[in-house]
Amino acid sequence: MRKDEAHKPRVVIVGAGFGGLYAARELRRAAVHLTVADRRNHHLFQPLLYQVATANLAPEEIAQPIRVILRRQKNAHVVLGTVASINVNERKVLLRDGELDYDYLILAAGAVGSYFGHDDWKTWAPDLKDLKDALEIRRRILLAFERAEREPDQVKRDGLLTFVIVGGGPTGVELAGALAEISRHVMVQDFRAIDPREARILLVEGGTCILPEYSKDLSEKAEAALKKMGVEVLNNSKVTLVNQDGVFIGNRHIRTDTVFWAAGVRASPLGQSLATPLDRTGRVLVEPDLSIPGHPEVYVIGDLATLLDHAAHPIPGVAPAAIQMGRHAAQNIMRACEGKPSEPFRYFDKGSLATIGRANAVAVWSGQAIRLCRLERMVGHPHFLPDRISEPTRCDL
């Protein structure tokens, strides 16, 4: 640290996702020494990971180096490293290969995939959390069609052309829709021994409906749209086993060589090192100003935080919420540096959206449940966010 920075408050941001980066940008004019630490050297636009997984986008279209993003922010320093734990008493971020001292901390470590105690299933059913996962899913999809083209045994060929997606949330719905698009349209002329349109795509949901966070009407419309595309939607279907032979739903066996996991997430284990109350998914129960009890210098935001909004509903783990939290935590730090009290966080719901294939989506927009169409120019853009929709086009099923 240079001499002219020695007296400045040290702010460390762990995680360069939406929340972490927007917090960093909010501090761009603050008189602080800012360090952004992440285990990856790039920011990832996670909402479009499924597009990479289905070969609609290249990896570089949804990833950008963190150093490039913060290149012109003179008070920001980027550290590539894996954070092992947080020592709130000594105000240290402990890396696997070092440590970072802080005066203020913003923890934006996000969430990881959850297999609900069956982590061994990951071998057969990868989840979709980073570029490595997306490329592995892409590899399995393309390889399944290639192997089916050369497979003379009809039973084995059927298994190769059966794709099972576990989890009917936005990720599962988007992945199923994209997979239906490429098998029904993109690949139709590419093979001679098989017809890709005969691929069987199953979306398995343990609850009563897909997209449970949306209204019943939108959930039903999304299911109808998927079925129209050829996707089989299995509600009230709990997966009991995933192995090399396929998927078991109860006692029912579905033979498949390709399974993808989109059934749930759990908070980053870093929250456990804070020695503060957590909810059942491991998220940190934060104070109204996003700090943790007993440590007003530590803020937790995004998927790692749990807080009720003004209507007593949990703030959702979506990008717009993380962005708002990141900005607010940064503003509270600037207030603290000026000797001012922190202010409580107020979440503004900008809406939510789940795409179904290339040109359809269901969304909650300004409090209204609507279905959208003709979205190609928006969902294919790496900087697309639900709050950027303008003049949405409604369409009937």
Q: Please tell me the distance from the alpha carbon of residue 204 to that of residue 184, in angstroms, as a whole number.
A: 20
Q: Please tell me the distance from the alpha carbon of residue 379 to that of residue 367, in angstroms, as a whole number.
A: 21
Query: Which distant-in-sequence residues (6+ apart) come within 8 Å of 252 by Cβ?
Result: none
> Residues, the chain, total?
397
Which stretch of DSSP H or E encloses residue 218?
Answer: helix 216-228
Question: In 3D, which of 209, 210, 207, 187 has the Cα closest to residue 197?
Answer: 187
Q: Please tell me the distance from the alpha carbon of residue 177 to that of residue 131, in angstroms, as a whole number.
A: 19
Q: Please tell me the distance from the alpha carbon of residue 37 to that of residue 100, in angstroms, as a whole number.
A: 9
E strands, 223-282, are 231-234, 239-243, 246-249, 252-255, 258-261, 265-267
Cα–Cα–Cα angle for 272, 8, 30, rounded to 5 degrees: 85
Known catalytic residue: 174? yes
Q: Please tell me the distance from the alpha carbon of residue 231 to that of residue 170, in angstroms, as a whole number.
A: 15
User: What single DSSP character describes residue 347?
Assistant: -
Determine which one of 26, 146, 149, 174 is catalytic: 174
Q: Please tell me the distance from the alpha carbon of residue 301 to that of residue 325, in angstroms, as a whole number.
A: 6
Residues paired with 11 in a beta bridge: 34, 104
Cα–Cα–Cα angle for 245, 256, 51, rounded to 5 degrees: 130
E strands, 231-359, are 231-234, 239-243, 246-249, 252-255, 258-261, 265-267, 284-285, 291-292, 295-300, 305-306, 352-356
Question: In 3D, which of 146, 226, 153, 156 has the Cα closest to residue 192?
Answer: 146
Catalytic residues: 174
